[in-house]
A and B are shown apart, each in its own frame.
Chain A
């Protein structure tokens, strides 16, 4: 057993080279077409106005690239069904790379598949890959969406009249807290009186509770609502119905709020997927970790809607330019909303310290416990 594992591990080290040769020769698998086949698996529907749609939009843009073929599967649960779907893409569609976009796909399913198919690349959309224990043909990619939430905050700070902004959040984990805090800092940059009131729903997709939270925030006086949940559709629609403005999350929700939409924080998976397709076509090894923000074109903001004032548009556009120039968002000293000093200096936007965020900044009304 041990021997077998050792040889397999040795095999994986040369996986990149193997992948390249098999690609050029194009013989080993019954591929649909010569070139690169990308398989992608979504946990929900492709048109959810949220997380899954953001990926699907990017995949759609790849379909126009010559020599690239994309195969998609939606509504795949985090059970062995996802492993079988991915395996089917490898065996029946000749996929060269398989992308998993839901958290629970990673362990054990993608880790096992990467070991089983050393010639195929596997990439997962959350920072879970660990070089010390995971195969080399597996990896992670993600975007620093908090930068786009910061831009949302700038636009929202200049669009509010009550100075109260509402945030509907799923779970108090670091990536969500980072979006909330960045949204606050954006708003505070242009409007020192702005506060952000947050409600945690407890899970990624709880439409009824998301609607209740939105209504509660509007009742509490918030006149701009944004969110971090899997499918922001309900939040944005409820805000529009209540006659308040809104900022989006994950994908474009502009069509849902023709009156109140300001802008939204969107991933730009397209950039990452094009890097993968390009490198595979050239036979170059893929990076195991690929992540970035505005300066590497991996996040974006939805085009301004009717809710954004001229002033907000200008300030938000300037904020985007600042982020592209790598200007830091977190500049200390900043306290959390319990009075502890948490940001002592200016942190680079990619500083690992910020990934460990477990607090809400002063100016956020709400609690993570």
Chain B
């Protein structure tokens, strides 16, 4: 009697566990369904725009597919363009989890890239490439971390708005780099484009074997996954999310809010600084004005679209990389101006932001919550 009761209870437990699982799945699917819906609406609205200017939407999306994902070259093109965006998006996402809107990734990228190029100059020909590159990467991350960490410190210590200060620090960062690149650290053998001394082929970071994509992509993905673990599975992450939810409550609970804010900002800056290191060590081979190519600003977009989720950032960055990679093909084949892709990006961004208001409004997903209650 008691045995059968226990087994019935067990069976019920199992049944409810399965039901709970599906209920959760149904509830969580909202976080996939709504962005996908938003992307579909963006595509539809953009198609109307194309029709209005007399171009074929079908051709457009075919070209995006071909230019961004359709051939082995296209995929590598996409991944290469996604690489810096993963890191600069993380530079927005981590502070966002603690409730800060930090948009200083561009400045940290420039400062990080410049620092890594500058620190390499005395090491070239004296120190072997591998340790040089490691020191460059650390210096780039440290410089970026200090740069955005400063905005975090100002926020905590003086209550300075971090959005404004991180943005202004970006302009200062670009100016600092230009000051040195056009002055003390200028390579005089390159008269028309002020740059630091080139690293030279031996000191350049190679490609991921078998591909044409540099290591920044692999490192970006590893860092994104690590930060996901940090934010979801550690006390630091928990404390940061509590602070993001309600800083006063967090303070009242005795959480070190100030330290958390500065640390998040520093992690953010280190990510962007590392992106700068890869621009120098894997692509440019020197620091110059081309470092300020806007990756830091595109990263803001990527992070918001990924709802500041480090894992989602990987995919959104690749989607963005693909759109940008195919943008060239669209220009060339359809004779559309470069701004066309910007229209698509802008539309997608606005519609995704609007879609944020839809969470919890669909019966389907709410039913799932209801079933959980019974």
Residues of A whose CB lies within 8 Å of any CB of B are 39, 45-46, 71-81, 84-85, 87-89, 91-93, 103-104, 107-108, 126, 171, 173
Select the stretch in B24-32, B49-57, B71-79, B300-308 that faces chain A: B71-79
Q: Which chain B residues in 307-331 approach chain A with CB under 8 Å?
A: 324-325, 328-329, 331
Question: In the bound complex, how far is the Cα of B73 from the Cα of A71, in angstroms?
Answer: 18
Contact of B329 among A45, A74, A92, A108 (CB under 8 A): A92
The answer to whether B285 touches A92, judged by C-beta atoms less than 8 angstroms apart, is: no
Question: In the bound complex, how far is the Cα of B285 from the Cα of A171, in angstroms?
Answer: 24
Question: In the bound complex, how far is the Cα of B339 from the Cα of A74, in angstroms?
Answer: 9
The answer to whether B338 touches A79, judged by C-beta atoms less than 8 angstroms apart, is: no
Residue of B nearest to A92 (CB): B329
Question: In the bound complex, how far is the Cα of B290 from the Cα of A80, in angstroms?
Answer: 10
The answer to whether A173 touches B192, judged by C-beta atoms less than 8 angstroms apart, is: yes
B218, CB-defined interface residue at 8 Å: no
The answer to whether A103 touches B192, judged by C-beta atoms less than 8 angstroms apart, is: yes
Chain B 51-84 near chain A by CB (<8 Å), digits 1 or 0: 0000000000000001100010110010011000
Given A73-B331, A77-B290, A104-B193, is A84 in contact with B81 using a C-beta cutoff of 8 Å?
A: yes
Given A73-B338, A74-B331, is A108 in contact with B77 using a C-beta cutoff of 8 Å?
A: no
Closest 10 CB pairs of A and B: A71-B332, A75-B338, A78-B290, A91-B73, A80-B283, A85-B328, A79-B293, A73-B328, A77-B293, A74-B338
Contact of B279 among A79, A85, A173 (CB under 8 A): A79
How close is A25's CB to chain B, nearest CB, in angstroms?
Answer: 22
Question: In the bound complex, how far is the Cα of B329 from the Cα of A71, in angstroms?
Answer: 9
Q: What residues of chain B lie closer than 8 Å to A173, measured between beta carbons?
A: 191-192
Question: In the bound complex, how far is the Cα of B182 from the Cα of A337, in angstroms?
Answer: 26
B288, CB-defined interface residue at 8 Å: yes
The answer to whether A72 touches B332, judged by C-beta atoms less than 8 angstroms apart, is: yes
Given A74-B331, A81-B81, A104-B288, is A92 in contact with B74 using a C-beta cutoff of 8 Å?
A: yes
Q: What residues of chain B lie closer than 8 Å to A79, measured between beta carbons?
A: 279, 283-284, 290, 293
Contact of A91 among B71, B283, B285, B333 (CB under 8 A): B71
How close is A4's CB to chain B, nearest CB, in angstroms?
Answer: 13
The answer to whether B338 touches A87, judged by C-beta atoms less than 8 angstroms apart, is: no
CB<8 Å pairs between A and B, sample of 5: A45-B337, A71-B332, A84-B325, A85-B328, A108-B283
The answer to whether A45 touches B338, judged by C-beta atoms less than 8 angstroms apart, is: yes
How close is B64's CB to chain A, nearest CB, in angstroms?
Answer: 12
Contact of B285 among A39, A45, A76, A108 (CB under 8 A): A108
The answer to whether B73 touches A88, judged by C-beta atoms less than 8 angstroms apart, is: yes
Question: In the bound complex, how far is the Cα of B153 from the Cα of A44, in angstroms?
Answer: 38
B294, CB-defined interface residue at 8 Å: yes
Q: Which chain B residues in 269-295 approach chain A with CB under 8 Å?
A: 279, 283-285, 288, 290, 293-294
Given A73-B338, A79-B279, A103-B192, is A84 in contact with B332 using a C-beta cutoff of 8 Å?
A: no
Given A73-B331, A75-B338, A80-B80, is A92 in contact with B290 using a C-beta cutoff of 8 Å?
A: no
Residue of A nearest to B291 (CB): A79
Q: What residues of chain A lie closer than 8 Å to B325, measured between beta carbons?
A: 84, 88
